[in-house]
Structure 1
Amino acid sequence: MRLDDVDRRLIAALQPDGRRPYSRIASDLGVSESVVRYRAQRLERAGILQVVGIADPLKIGFDLMAMIGVKVRPASLDAVCAAVSALPETSYVASVAGGYDVFVEVICRDSAHFGELLTQRLHAIDGVVGAESFLILEMHKMAYGWGVGEVAAAEAER
């Protein structure tokens, strides 16, 4: 699905405030409210847009967040990513290039929960050959408004 300027501007308008009224977005974009509603629903159905409430887990009762760098046996990356994604503690799973094959963000109740997740479940996944944990002490920035307009400008320059 190709995005046009209205789609990009709609996404940019929702990134800082996903509850912003469609009527205000329509006014800012110079289109009707029905166009905004239709475009938002189409973007959601296509898996491009997801409007959610995001909370800082460390401020709502979870005591431990960590990033885990996972090393994977060759040819098992997709299976490992699928298995890790199925763990309820994971909030972020990405295959990467570099010293690790996968980065995983996990949110746990406490260190005992984290220890069980890491040693009993993550390391037991077929294809995982190693993992290194990085405990998150404090979140300094959680932002999702990373500039859809900048991507559009870069595409236009090509």
Structure 2
Amino acid sequence: MNELDGLDHLDRRIIAALQVDGRRTFSSLADEFGVPASSVRYRLKKLEDEGVLQVVGIANPLAIGFDRLALIGVQVRPGSARAICKALAALPETSYVVITSGKFDVMVEVICRDVAHIVDVLENKIGALDDVVSTESFFVLEVHKLAYGWGVPEVSSAD
């Protein structure tokens, strides 16, 4: 089932509002949407429990001592992409792990402290996985957009 199938208009508005400002209070959302704060609290808990929404603080890695960001293309043995993704997702250095089409079976974003750290991740963590055939690293030199709000269907600013 598509997660959006179970979302109503209020759920979508809560998600949209929290993507703009994840620190909004239940009462401010309730006032904006014309519902009780308990309804917002219940809906948010349900969205979190169902894995639809996660409200977190995102730190700028460059500002806290992580100055090596890289995308890593990973080629794996046939049939092992999901298992490799599960293993990579468990690594603290990974922030993004996806199965892809094209030259690479899996793409991974890693955030590391320095060159020695990224070498360790490539050689001793990613490269050490049995079904990894090869990797190719793409170091991030400049970030021009980093966004976490991708909109919610059927929610407009006029709602």
Would the TM-score normalized by the shorter structure come out above 0.5? yes
- Could you say which residue in structure 1 is the equivalent of 2:8? 4
- Could you say which residue in structure 1 is the equivalent of 2:48? 44
8 Å CA contact retained: 1:16, 1:144: no
Uncovered stretches (5+) of structure 2, i.e. residues with no partner: none
Corresponding residue SS for 1:15: helix
Structure 1 residue ranges, 4+ long, deviating more than 3 angstroms after superposition:
none
* 1:67-117 deviation digits (Å, cap 9, x = unpaired): 111111101111111111121111111111222111101111100110111
Alignment of 1:1-158 (within 5 A): 2-148=6-152, 151-152=153-154
**What percentage of aligned pairs have identical amino acids?**
58
Corresponding residue SS for 2:48: helix
8 Å CA contact retained: 1:66, 1:106: yes
Corresponding residue SS for 2:66: coil
- Could you say which residue in structure 2 is the equivalent of 1:156? none
Q: How far apart, CA to CA, are the structure 2 residues paired with 1:138 and 1:22? A: 37
8 Å CA contact retained: 1:64, 1:108: yes
Q: How far apart, CA to CA, are the structure 1 residues paired with 2:13 and 2:102? A: 34
RMSD: 1.3
Uncovered stretches (5+) of structure 1, i.e. residues with no partner: 154-158
Number of matched pairs: 151
